Structure 1
Amino acid sequence: MPDIVIKKIKKGGHGHHGGAWKVAYADFVTAMMAFFLLLWLLSSATEEQLQGVSNYFTPETISQSESGSGGILGGQSLAEQGALRSETGAPTVSIDIPPVKTPEEMAEQRLAEQEDKEFKEAEEELRKALESSPDLQELAKNIRIEETDEGLRIQILDEDGTAMFPSGSAVMADHTKLLLSKVVEAIQGMPQDISIEGHTDAVPFSTVTGYSNWELSSDRALATRRELETQGLASGRFAKVAGLADTDPLLPETPENERNRRISITLLRGTGERPAVDGETSAPAQSGTPSTEQGSGQESGNSAPSNRRPSFSVPSNR
């Protein structure tokens, strides 16, 4: 009988496997994209929104009352009354994605943050200068520093009988000049334009020549500008010099209080040339109007005369 030979043929490892692996790989990539998108959405959500998502999927938030079928839902719908919602569809989560800022808005935000930092550093430097100088420690009560919507405001005011100017005069006292020298040291390296305003109290003041609180407050503001320039501030930084008389009191409830007699020096927000931020091209910010000496004693554009009746005398402690 002849020998029967049975051959088993093994297929090699290079045969055709079909395209199933491509489908699996595409599913994997899609899942990863969905995963990273979910992470991004969660990182952009607020704490309140995340809490809302957590509450949505928490079983305790589901009604436990038994009615209808008596199950966990009790025959009740999770949708709010009046809402059009599919009872068989998958639950959806709505998350508000924060708006994307333009490069210009991001640059403005960085400049604003930089400006706030500069204001805080200038305030800290000025306060340290007052504390470290024996001649100025007693005058610390005569200076007030605050950040406002307009900018960093430094006010030098009369306090406890210590006047910054002699009565009825725009000739600056020596201790006022010393205070202004410290102000210059703190703000000299900053880019902002400067506004100066002179203020008086509401005590009637006028002379036979018609010189009133308007002229007095304006002349004191001008004297402050000249002293700041003498101390080293560039003349081009002065955007406004104005005398407001008693129209903007520091203490409106007591308009005749001595603290209403003051000089306000304000570093205006968003003004002056600035260096480039993060490699961006530097551009001058919108600058104020050129500095103006107002001999009339009134603020620019304010032509209303003082309604104060002349007393033909100079009261004390002006």
Structure 2
Amino acid sequence: MTKPIQPIIIKKVKKAAHGHHGGAWKIAYADFVTAMMAFFLLMWLISMTTQEQKDGLAEYFAPTSALSAGSSGSGGILMGTALDKAGNKTSEPRDATRDATGQENKARPTSPSGASDREIKPRNASMQANYSAMASLRQALQNMPEIADLSRNIVIEQTKDGLNVSLVDDNGRSMFPEGSVQPYDRTRLVLEALAPTLRRLPNQLSVAGHTAVARPGSVPTVDSWSLTAGRALSVREILSGAGLPSNRFTSVAGRADTEPLFLDNPYIPPNRRVTITLLNAEPPLPPGVP
């Protein structure tokens, strides 16, 4: 008797595919590697910078530390605004008066008409002469492209006393080595470029050195009075060596930190400067006045 044929049953077990584990860890790892690369790059840059550059970077990120991009004017050398004692940037003379609408009124009388007219005419003539001198000084510096990168360090402004030409420290770039009365070679080039124009101008000159106020807790390494006086003397000597007669100078002084350029922040680098002032000529006395 034959056995019945049993059907062969084959069971196929389908394995379920593994679910997606997600790639969030890959993103986190990539961020970590990027952060580490940036960290080591920062460490390398810090090790390659000088102390002067580090100070400049620190001042740059301070809220009120940096000069505006327009302090040198239109991207060119000395082509516009200047620094004002109150910390504002202005291309107008400090002694110019303005009316209630903010418009400049240089000829506003301040005394009876006869006297004010005589006072205003010499003043306007002096201002006109200062503008002409300013243009001559700018042209002298523009003829030297090798010092074009110092445009932010040279500030020309008109004041009530005359025309100021200031060599100003900027963030990351100083005109004198720290604690030294002898300027950098680039500063010497600027002064030698200015000397021929200053010699042609009729103005008497005064030179004053200034420094920034020491930050609280810091210990000054040099006396600020001696430092600023020494820098002013160095500027006078360089100008004299470049052909400027000694009798053109009326005074050479060190002001230490008594006259900060930025009253609201006397610690920042632009307060460190040496200023050459082209003094206004005294107006001639009218006939009959002793």
Aligned AA for 2:204? D
Distance in structure 1 (CA, Å) of the matches to 2:182 and 2:114: 55
* Cα distance change of structure 1 residues 189 and 171 upon mapping to structure 2, 3 Å threshold: same
Unaligned runs of 5+ in 2: 1-111
Q: How many residues align?
A: 173
CA contact (8 A) 1:153 1:267 kept: yes
Aligned AA for 2:158? E
User: Could you say which residue in structure 2 is the equivalent of 1:138?
Assistant: 149
CA contact (8 A) 1:205 1:213 kept: no
Q: Report the Cα offset of residue 149 of structure 1.
A: 0.8
Are 1:180 and 2:195 matched, yes or no? no
TM-score w.r.t. structure 2 length? 0.54
Distance in structure 1 (CA, Å) of the matches to 2:139 and 2:243: 20
User: Could you say which residue in structure 1 is the equivalent of 2:259?
Assistant: 248
Which is greater in Rg?
1
User: Could you say which residue in structure 2 is the equivalent of 1:113?
Assistant: 124
Q: Report the Cα offset of residue 206 of structure 1.
A: 4.0
CA contact (8 A) 1:200 1:245 kept: yes
User: Could you say which residue in structure 1 is the equivalent of 2:80?
Assistant: none
User: Could you say which residue in structure 2 is the equivalent of 1:202?
Assistant: 213
Distance in structure 2 (CA, Å) of the matches to 1:205 and 1:165: 19
CA contact (8 A) 2:195 2:243 kept: yes
Are 1:126 and 2:158 matched, yes or no? no
User: Could you say which residue in structure 1 is the equivalent of 2:270?
Assistant: 259
Are 1:191 and 2:202 matched, yes or no? yes
3-state DSSP of counterpart to 1:139: helix
Aligned AA for 2:210? H
CA contact (8 A) 1:205 1:212 kept: no
CA contact (8 A) 1:170 1:223 kept: yes
Q: Report the Cα offset of residue 216 of structure 1.
A: 0.5
- Residues 83-129 of structure 1: CA deviation (Å, up to 9, x unaligned): xxxxxxxxxxxxxxx84469xx75x6554333222211121122233
- Residues 178-215 of structure 1: CA deviation (Å, up to 9, x unaligned): 111232233222222211110111125544xxx41111
Calculate the aligned-residue CA RMSD, in Å. Answer: 2.7
* Cα distance change of structure 1 residues 111 and 186 upon mapping to structure 2, 3 Å threshold: farther
Distance in structure 1 (CA, Å) of the matches to 2:240 and 2:175: 18
Higher helix share: 2
2:247 to 216, 228, 236: 236
- Residues 41-97 of structure 1: CA deviation (Å, up to 9, x unaligned): xxxxxxxxxxxxxxxxxxxxxxxxxxxxxxxxxxxxxxxxxxxxxxxxxxxxxxxxx
Give aligned-pair identity as a percent: 35
Unaligned runs of 5+ in 1: 1-97, 282-318
TM-score w.r.t. structure 1 length? 0.49
